[in-house]
Structure formats: C-alpha cells, structure tokens
Amino acid sequence: MLPKPPQTRVLTVANQKGGVGKTTSAVNLAAALAQCGLQVLVLDVDPQGNASTALGVAHEDRTPGTYEVLVEGLPLSEAVRPCPDVRGLEVCPASIDLAGAEMELAQEPDMVARVSLLSRALADHVAEREEQGRPRLDYVLLDCPPSLGLITLNALVAAREVLIPIQCEYYALEGLTQLRNNIGLVQRSLNPQLEISTILLTMYDARTRLAREVADEVRRAFPTRVLDTTIPRSVRISEAPSHGETVMTYDPGNSGALSYLQAARELVEGHHARLAAAAPVPADAVEDPEAVVPAPAEPGGATDPAATAEQTVPVARLGQPEPSDAAEVEEGADAVDQTEEPEQPAAVVDLRSGPLDLRGSWTPDRSTASGRRAAERRA
Ligand SMILES: Nc1ncnc2c1ncn2[C@@H]1O[C@H](COP(=O)(O)OP(=O)(O)OP(=O)(O)O)[C@@H](O)[C@H]1O
Ligand SMILES: [Mg+2]
C-alpha cells in the first residue's frame, strides 16, 4: 500500500521524441499505483491509442473517448472505462479520431479555451466524483503523443507535473529544449505551477557504456528530478500490450514489472518527502515563534510575483511555435539548459480553485448529441 497524496496529482507524460517509453511508463506506473491501493485514471491523449490497448480497453472508431471529451464536450465520466485487470484503475480511451482534434481545436478562436478543454473536463470530472461521493482520484496520468501540438498543450495545461521518460540512447536529450520551451510558455500564461517533476530513464542497459553516459548526462541536467530507479529493457514489457495487459499483471515477477513498481513507490514517496520538507515549521517547534519569518520567494520561481509578472506572455502565442524553437532544436542535445530550475515544493493540484479553473470560457458544441448532453449538464 502507498499513501494517498493530499490532493489529486496530475502528471502529463510527455516527450515529443517517439518511442522513448511514454505509453509503457504511463500504463505501468498507473497499474503499479493502483495495485498499491490508489485510485488512478489514465487519460489517453494519443490518437495511436496505445495506452488504451495496453490497459485492455476498447478504442474502436465509435468508442467515446478523448476526442468526444475534447471536441464534443462529452463529460469525462461518460468516456471513462475500468481497466479489466487492475482494480482502482480507469482509462479514458483514445481512437484514431483524435488525430482530427488538432485541426478542430485550431479552429477555436478563443486561445485560452483552445488549450483548456482537457483541464476543464478533468476539473468537472473530479468535482462530479466528489458530488457523487465516489473515492477521490489520487493520480491522473496523461499519455501524450510524440508531438507538441494542441493536444499536448491541453495535457500540459491540465497537469501540475510533467513526467519525462528518457530512453538511454544517443540523442536522448535532443528535443528536450523545445519541450521545455512549451512547458515554460504554459507556465507563464495559464499554469504557473507546472513543473518538470520527474524524469524516468527507460530501456536502460547498465552493461553498455553509452547508457551509463546518457544517464549521467541526464542526471547532470536535472540533478533532483531523475528517479533513482531505472527501467531495464525487458521482452516481457514489450510483449504485454499484445495481450491487452500491462507487465504488472502479465508477468508481475519480471524485472521490468518490479522496476515499475519501485519507480511508482519512488514517485509517491519522493512527493511526500518534498511535501514534508516544504511544510511550515509548527510554531511550538521553535523557541520564539515571533522570530519565524516567511521564506523569501525563490528567484525566478512561480512564487516570485516579480518574476511571474515579468514572464507573462500573451496567451495568443500558445500553440504557435516559439520564435527561438527552430534554432534551438538544431543545436540538439548540447542546447539543453544544463541548469535546473529551482526546486518547487508541493506539486499538488486543486483542480476546482487553482489557476486552471476556466469554467465558463467555453461552451459545448450543441450540434452533436454528446455536446448537447454536456451543455444540458452545465446548465
Ligand atoms: N523497458 C522496455 N523494454 C523493452 N521494450 C520496451 C520498454 N519500454 C518500451 N518498450 C517498447 O518500445 C516501444 C516504444 O515504447 P512506447 O510505445 O512506450 O513509447 P512511446 O514514447 O509511447 O512511443 P510514441 O512516441 O510512439 O507514443 C514499444 O514497442 C514498447 O513495447
Ligand atoms: Mg506512446
């Protein structure tokens, strides 16, 4: 059993590099968390629908899923399905329809609404569960496609944390600058608390010098964010999805399954340790309570009002390429900023009262049946 977080933790699993283990990590961490007694939801936001397959949830053309939630305003609760093999684990499936959502979202003239649809749907879902007296979600993991389009932006706006899986191979860090630029853009406009909280090294083969060197480089670039646990290459991990399962149920004793279990434990325990470290010292724990002064805001951090004001960017730029992106991408791995941003404390999210509460800025599409249902619900 693992402790529940004080509030729902929402993690977007992103890396625009393809095939690095985003889906594998999202589904196996989610399954491991649920097996440890937590309530977990996976939002498949990739038109490939790989997370849905791996969790044994149908995602044929007509299955209501992320497309209907994003484009037609279908309430998440109507799209979410239980994972058949793991109690406490639910999935919002994605089908190939979702590929069309990029185009449809691009037509939404309101820039804030365009990237806030998922955040709003998730906030409504969390509120609805609470109203119905259902157990609170402990973890929500969003499995992103290998791109930085509007769907990934929606996922970044909906989360408080980003989990980046990195495959320990040559060019591992390539493209991370671009991902960090987008995270920065979302941070400075809509979601100031968004942070890269976790990096997971995947398909790690400790026998090769290259893997060790890449791991060292990643740990130097993000000294406090990389989980100690690495995920080894394992045939059983790659076989599991073809059986509609995660390796956590397909072969629980396998080294890959044990590593994902250990990574899930680290994800949870590290968070609780950070919360404890950030908690204010109780007044009776110091000799002179009057002497306790609030800690100064971290320079450049989200809590620094001056920094936040200075960094505010027009929302209109969301979804547009950053002017510097092209140049930085060409520079490749060397261009990754080697200095880590200041450690942020509690990475928890109150989806109903936080900066993401944008309810009211978007209306469901009444021309579709599910949109009409959503509109009626909202009314
Ligand atoms: N630890 C591992 N051991 C062996 N194979 C793995 C491991 N992790 C992932 N794979 C395999 O590598 C391939 C890519 O993994 P995965 O689909 O998780 O990456 P992804 O980042 O989600 O890809 P995409 O960018 O296409 O969404 C898959 O075939 C998967 O089964
Ligand atoms: Mg994937």
Asked if pLDDT for residue 370 goes beyond 90, the answer is: no
For position 372, what pLDDT does the model report?
54
Q: How confident is the model at residue 307 (pLDDT cuts 50, 70, 90)?
A: very low
For position 176, what pLDDT does the model report?
84
Asked if pLDDT for residue 259 goes beyond 70, the answer is: yes
SS (H, E, C) 218-245: HHHHCCCCEEEEEEECCHHHHHHHHHCC
**79 CA from centroid of ligand 2 (Å):** 20
SS3 215: helix
Asked if pLDDT for residue 258 goes beyond 80, the answer is: yes
| Mean pLDDT over the full length of the chain | 80
**Cβ(234) – ligand 1 distance below 6 Å:** yes
Asked if pLDDT for residue 44 goes beyond 80, the answer is: yes
**Cβ(236) – ligand 1 distance below 6 Å:** no
Q: Whose CA is nearest to atom 3 of ligand 1?
A: 233
Residue 350: is it exposed, middle or buried by C-beta count within 10 angstroms (0-12/13-18/19+)?
A: middle
Asked if pLDDT for residue 330 goes beyond 50, the answer is: no
Taking domain 9-363, whether its CATH number is 3.40.50.300 is answered by yes
* b/e burial code for range 94-124 (CB count within 10 A of at least 16 → b): bbebbeebbeebeebeebbbbbbbbbbbbbb
**Which segments of the chain does DSSP mark as H helices, in order?**
22-35, 50-54, 66-71, 76-79, 101-106, 111-131, 150-158, 176-189, 209-221, 235-239, 247-250, 255-278, 305-311, 325-331, 369-378
| CA 187-190-194 angle, 5° bins | 35
Tokens at residue 314, please? 């027009």
Nearest CA among 273, 9, 10 for reference residue 143:
10
Select from 45, 238, 239 the residue to mutate for testing ligand 1; criterion: most ligand atoms less than 8 Å from CB: 238
What is the rounded average pLDDT of the residues 339-364?
Answer: 36
Residue of higher predicted confidence among 334 and 98: 98
Tokens at residue 292, please? 């306790």
Residue of higher predicted confidence among 152 and 278: 152
**246 CA from centroid of ligand 2 (Å):** 14
**167 CA from centroid of ligand 1 (Å):** 9
Residues 334, 103: Cα–Cα separation, whole Å: 33
User: Which ligand 1 atom sits closest to the C-alpha of 20?
Assistant: 21
**Cβ(274) – ligand 1 distance below 6 Å:** no
List of residues 6+ apart from 179 with CB closer than 8 A: 14, 15, 16, 148, 164
Tens of pLDDT along 52-109? 999 999 877 678 999 999 999 999 999 999 999 999 999 999 999 999 998 999 888 8
For position 337, what pLDDT does the model report?
43
Asked if pLDDT for residue 29 goes beyond 90, the answer is: yes
Tens of pLDDT along 171-209? 888 878 888 888 998 999 889 999 999 999 999 999 999
CB-based contact 38:267 (threshold 8 Å) = no
- Closest ligand to 22 CA? 1
Select from 12, 17, 22, 24 the residue to mutate for testing ligand 1; criterion: most ligand atoms less than 8 Å from CB: 24
**Cβ(192) – ligand 1 distance below 6 Å:** no
Asked if pLDDT for residue 148 goes beyond 60, the answer is: yes
User: Which ligand 1 atom sits closest to the C-alpha of 146?
Assistant: 25
Q: Whose CA is nearest to atom 30 of ligand 1?
A: 238
* pTM to 2 decimal places: 0.80
**Cβ(242) – ligand 1 distance below 6 Å:** no
For position 63, what pLDDT does the model report?
83
Structural domain boundaries of the chain? 9-363
